[in-house]
Structure 1
């Protein structure tokens, strides 16, 4: 009885670990490419500063020419 219970518990733990691994792999954030062509609602005006800022996102540093 005990070996069968151990096998069931091991199979459950293995399945759970594999499902957690698959969840982590599929949990990629939705990140768009830089530029107005990739935006849902592009702004009316767009200059070089906007472009540099958009390309640097999500970095914490501002563009080097700021």
Structure 2
């Protein structure tokens, strides 16, 4: 009897997982409208939610991400 309960709960959990995977928003919050792929282009114009202020340091930091090297103009 316990094995049947475990199997039923496992099937219910799997069905719930698949349901929520299908409903997951395919629009990534980091991407601007119309961009596709797994890596966002650099710059404020490539962001869906544009920042209020964007300076040269922000731009260089965004361009170097996810690299570990800092921007070259100290």
TM-score w.r.t. length of structure 1: 0.51
Q: Distance in 2 between matches of 1:41 and 1:62?
A: 24
Tell me the residue number matched to 1:55: 63
Q: Mapping of 1:23-38 within 5 angstroms?
A: 30-38=38-46
What residue ranges of structure 2 are gaps of 5+ in the alignment? 1-36
Partner of 2:26: none
Per the TM alignment, residue 61 of structure 1 is displaced from its structure 2 partner at its CA by: 1.3
**TM-score for the superposition, normalised by structure 2:** 0.46
- Unaligned runs of at least 5 residues, structure 1: 1-28
Q: Distance in 2 between matches of 1:38 and 1:65?
A: 23
> Which structure dedicates a bigger proportion of its chain to helix?
1
SS at match of 1:42: coil
Query: How much does 1:63 deviate?
Result: 0.6
Aligned runs of 1:1-66 on 2, under 5 Å?
30-66=38-74
